Amino acid sequence: MNVDSRGRMLLTAFVALTLTVLPLPPWLDVLRPAFLVLTVLYWSVNAPRTGGIALGFFAGLMLDVFQGPVLGEHALALSLITYIAVREHQRIRSKPAIQQALFVFVALVFYEVVLFMIDGWTGHPVTSPLRWVHTLTGALIWPPAAAILAYGAGRLA
């Protein structure tokens, strides 16, 4: 079962990564939620021992390869929020989807703050307010996204 769910996890992560790097027109790109981050959050909350922080770290590393100015930036940010999600997974899991979305919003803001600080330290400051838009769309898309992931997980099981 463990191997099985790990396979599903990697599959969904791969799909999410594809959605993240899919080329989109600029106005849509601003709105694009961080699909991979949402997927990692889902697995951290619902299968904290299978994925957990290692999943966050390696997913972040992949994001760094695709769009990070410095290797390790997204890895650190994602490790942080997966850690929070894993620690609080029981509390989060028992809540209805709307309240989960609130948690996701906070987690995404943390994530973006970490990225923002590292961007500043490494000399790639991007201060446009548009970089925060995805935290909101990510929270909004969380209920359907979690339902799809749960459906896929149940279906494949």
- Window of 33-41, 105-113, 120-128 that interacts with another protein by CB under 8 A: 120-128
DSSP structure string for 11-65: HHHHHHHHHHHS---HHHHHH---HHHHHHHHHHHH-TTTSHHHHHHHHHHHHHH
- Contact letters for another protein, residues 132-151 (x by CB under 8 A): --------------xx--x-
Report the site for another protein in 17-76 (rule: CB under 8 A). 17-18, 21-23, 25-26, 29-30, 46-50, 52-54, 56-57, 60-62, 65-67, 69-73, 75-76
**Residue 110 corresponds to which tokens in the numbers above?**
């943390």
CA distances for 57 relative to 3, 29, 41, angstroms = 19, 24, 12
Give the whole-angstrom CA distance, residue 66 versus residue 50: 25
Residues found near another protein in the complex (CB under 8 A): 1, 5, 14, 17-18, 21-23, 25-26, 29-30, 46-50, 52-54, 56-57, 60-62, 65-67, 69-73, 75-76, 79-80, 82-83, 86-87, 90, 93, 97, 100, 118, 122-124, 126, 128, 130-131, 146-147, 150, 153-154, 157
